Amino acid sequence: MFRQEGQSLIREMYGEMLCLEPWGNDSLRVRSIKGTSFIKEDWALDTTPILDTPCKITIDEKSASITNGNITGVVRHDGLITFYNQRKEILLQEYVRNRNTFDYYCSTLNLAAREWKPYLGGDYQLTVRFESDPEEKLYGMGQYQHGFLNQKFNRLLLEQRNSQVSIPFVLSNKGYGLFWNNPAVGWASFGKSVTEWYAASTKQMDYWITAKDTPAEIEEQYADVVGKAPMMPDYAMGFWQSKLRYQTQEELLNVAREYKRRGLPVSVIVIDFFHWTDHGDWKFDPEYWPDPEGMIKELKSMGIELMVSIWPTVAKTSENFQEMNEKNLLVKNDIGITTHMEFMGNTVFFDATNPKAREYIWEKAKKNYYDKGVKLFWLDEAEPEFSGYQFPLYRYHIGPALQNSNIYPRYFAKAFYDGMTAAGEKQVINLARCAWAGSQKYGALVWSGDVDSSFRGLREQFTAGLNIGLAGIPWWTTDIGGFLRGNPDDPEFRECFVRWFQYGVFSPVFRLHGERIPHKKPIGTKGGGAFFSGADNEVWSYGEDNYETLKKYMFLREEMKPYIKELMKEAHEKGSPVIRTLFYEFPKDEKAWDIEDEYLFGADVLVAPVMYEGMRKRSVYLPEGARWKNAHTREVFDGGQTIEVDAPLDIIPVFLREGGIVDFTI
């Protein structure tokens, strides 16, 4: 039943093979399969793990155990697993609701901890159950639009959607982190009575668990096994100007010139979608963008990098469709008509899981963009955004969408990372609307998608950004002001915009974007002229009084650049999130685990954004274990207390940790 193979503990019984093995320090990888051999796929666990000391395996008649540093996994005779830390405290245990004659607990429910439901003649639905501690707090899991920081009692779809990023890593206040290493569509439910992980179709169970004393140590160990972001280039730490959408080369250049005329710092300007001749042509429409090289040369003379939108869509009218279809470089339908998205034509998605398809799209992008001077790409629609998200209909190069769909955005980022590094780029950063575990090592800067332009939208991005950081993505941003709607002449939206802008200053990337209404009509009937544009979305578009406020914060961002560079170095070297929950730096402060409306920008800057209409004062909790200086009034306060501070429209409450490496005045 039990045996040791090298440093792995194996149990075979009732047609199941179970394996627990060390995977990095203080960590175990746990796999199970109905069969006699595991699939040859590491998914996100493809970074060679480091092991400082050998593990210890013990086997007796009724159980077996494996110890790797801080963590011990004990497998009972009936196959149930319990994980302990170095203090012999239970971290997590599989769900006990079955009959047995030798254990302390019996149940007639006969509900399995690892439940395999076969598709006749095929693979399995899999549900893995753990006992639930109602007092436990759970964080991470990627980006969800529900507005909660603590994921306990949430049921989360493991599906990639526009504005939803599923990265199934969860961090517990009990001192462990668990990564569900499976890209299948499914869900995770952190219920009061049971925790469940479900895959709608899979061949194998695969998860990773680590035991550490602090959230930072858990996060760093997770980063060691799934990968870390490159070092962010200096220019990316400044201000990014974007809107839906600059329609012509001259319009974009005039905006860049106006920023420079006003003496405003801007690092990146963006050409959004439908600058192309057709979906899947991946090139400028020469009618509206006649001289890309000249445009890029002028932008660079102003110190501005150009970012260009790339979609994974291919129209059936594209000049590349027939070749890609014949070479099997497109996502396929298992049944029905092959149309994946209906938006300005019937389109299909290139198959990012196919190495040949990744090479093909990069060759087109290199010829038509990179070789002309574009070094920054916007990988939009990266989920991909299937119309209706009917995952059972689709099949990738690596298998059915139900089993693999969540990993698509990682491969999309990899296509451009591999191409750009092969071309000589040392510091790759590309904006992506979705990600999976490990996307960060391919230079993915994730943004929160097409979210609502409202205070509620801002509040939802606040918690989403903190949780995706804990899920391993340190580079994250939002559309400042939200994407959907937002009239720059509306006083109510102007207030929301200013508050969002202030929050954006203290985000990993400071980026302005949005649809903005009323729309401007299309300027043509085909190609780059066929889609409308939004209203103006530059910092001077929101009134003269607000302009002075926005200008102040743009220069504050510039002042903070040396500090931001240190944060990006931490992200690169240790995997640390740039924006952090209070408990990340102050885990011994119990109240810090419950604060859901403040955060830390690095270790030394506490930010308490205003996220409600009309709010001009707010309460701020200062974590215990440090003294804090109000960056506005310069007053100094002891930690471990809640204070009330003024927050007029031109002020975001910010506090600086005494003895830290940064100081400024707002």
Q: What average pLDDT score do residues 175-200 get? A: 98
Token pair of 303 as six digits: 């110190």
Flag whether pLDDT at 246 surpasses 70.
yes
Can 450 be counted among the known catalytic residues? yes
User: Which residue, 444, 445, 476, 478, is CA-closest to 461?
Assistant: 478
Place of tokens 């008509």: 337
Q: Which of 351, 383, 385, 589 is catalytic?
A: 383
Q: Angle at which helices 455-470 and 491-505 pack, to 10 degrees?
A: 20
Flag whether pLDDT at 395 surpasses 90.
yes
Q: What's the pLDDT at 155? A: 98
Final residue before a domain boundary, out of 226, 255, 278: 226
Domain identity same for 97 and 75:
yes
pLDDT in tens, 139-172: 999 999 999 999 999 999 999 999 999 999 999 9
Place of tokens 């400024």: 664
Q: What's the pLDDT at 336? A: 85
Token pair of 75 as six digits: 């497998």
Can 383 be counted among the known catalytic residues? yes
Alpha-carbon separation of residue 397 from 330, 344, 357, 384, 406 (angstroms): 9, 26, 10, 15, 14
The answer to whether residue 662 is domain-embedded is: no
Domain identity same for 80 and 216:
yes
Domain identity same for 507 and 423:
yes
**Residue 206, exposed/middle/buried by CB under 10 A (0-12, 13-18, 19+)?**
buried
Domain identity same for 192 and 295:
no
Q: Which of 94, 272, 450, 598 is catalytic?
A: 450
**What does residue 253 show for φ and ψ, rounded to 5 degrees?**
-65, -35
Do residues 508 and 576 make contact, with C-beta atoms less than 8 angstroms apart? no
Flag whether pLDDT at 100 surpasses 60.
no
pLDDT in tens, 634-648: 999 999 999 999 999
Q: What's the pLDDT at 101? A: 43
Flag whether pLDDT at 575 surpasses 60.
yes
Distance CA 399, CA 532 (A): 37
- 49 — pLDDT class (breaks 50, 70, 90): confident
Query: Residue 142 forms beta bridges with which residues?
Result: 166
Domain identity same for 484 and 451:
yes
Q: What average pLDDT score do residues 451-480 get? A: 98
Distance CA 163, CA 380 (A): 11
Distance CA 405, CA 409 (A): 9
Flag whether pLDDT at 76 surpasses 70.
yes
Pairing of strands 239-241, 268-271: parallel
The answer to whether residue 171 is domain-embedded is: yes
- 50 — pLDDT class (breaks 50, 70, 90): confident
The helix (H) or strand (E) run that includes residue 414 is helix 408-422
Do residues 178 and 158 make contact, with C-beta atoms less than 8 angstroms apart? no
- 584 — pLDDT class (breaks 50, 70, 90): very high
Q: Angle at which helices 355-368 and 408-422 pack, to 10 degrees?
A: 50
Domain identity same for 102 and 22:
yes
pTM greater than 0.95: yes
- SS3 sequence of 224-287: HHHCCCCCCCHHHHCEEECCCCCCCHHHHHHHHHHHHHCCCCCCEEEECCCCECCCCCCCECCC
Q: What's the pLDDT at 103? A: 53
The answer to whether residue 75 is domain-embedded is: yes
Domain identity same for 68 and 204:
yes
Q: What's the pLDDT at 337? A: 82
- 104 — pLDDT class (breaks 50, 70, 90): low
The answer to whether residue 194 is domain-embedded is: yes
Final residue before a domain boundary, out of 543, 574, 605: 574
The CATH number for 544's domain is: 3.20.20.80
The CATH number for 20's domain is: 2.60.40.1760
Flag whether pLDDT at 105 surpasses 70.
no
The answer to whether residue 324 is domain-embedded is: no
Structurally, how many domains does the chain consist of?
3
Do residues 126 and 358 make contact, with C-beta atoms less than 8 angstroms apart? no
Flag whether pLDDT at 188 surpasses 60.
yes
Could you report how far apart the first and last alpha carbons of the chain are, in Å?
A: 66
Final residue before a domain boundary, out of 542, 558, 574: 574
Q: What's the pLDDT at 255? A: 98
- SS3 sequence of 177-234: EEEECCCCCEEEEECCCEEEEEEEEECEEEEEEEECCCHHHHHHHHHHHHCCCCCCCH
The answer to whether residue 418 is domain-embedded is: yes
The CATH number for 597's domain is: 2.60.40.1180
Domain identity same for 410 and 524:
yes
| Structural domain that includes position 510 | 238-313+351-574
Domain identity same for 557 and 585:
no
pLDDT in tens, 208-220: 999 999 999 999 9
Q: What is the DSSP string of 458-520?
A: HHHHHHHHHHHHHTT---EE--BT-SB---TT-HHHHHHHHHHHHHHHTSSSEEE----SSPB
Distance, CA of 458 to chain centre: 17
Distance CA 598, CA 608 (A): 5
Domain identity same for 478 and 382:
yes
The answer to whether residue 325 is domain-embedded is: no
Domain identity same for 309 and 356:
yes
Q: Which of 26, 224, 285, 380 is catalytic?
A: 380
pLDDT above 70 covers what percent of the chain? Answer: 99
Q: Across all residues in the chain, what is the average pLDDT?
A: 96
Domain identity same for 463 and 519:
yes
Q: What's the pLDDT at 89? A: 98
Q: What's the pLDDT at 206? A: 98
Q: For 106-120, 516-530, 585-599, which range has the lowest pLDDT when averaged over its residues? A: 106-120
The answer to whether residue 335 is domain-embedded is: no
Q: For 242-246, 389-393, 504-508, 574-578, which range has the lowest pLDDT when averaged over its residues? A: 389-393
Q: What average pLDDT score do residues 467-474 get? A: 98
- Close Cβ partners of 88 (under 8 Å, ≥ 6 residues apart): none
Q: What average pLDDT score do residues 593-598 get? A: 98
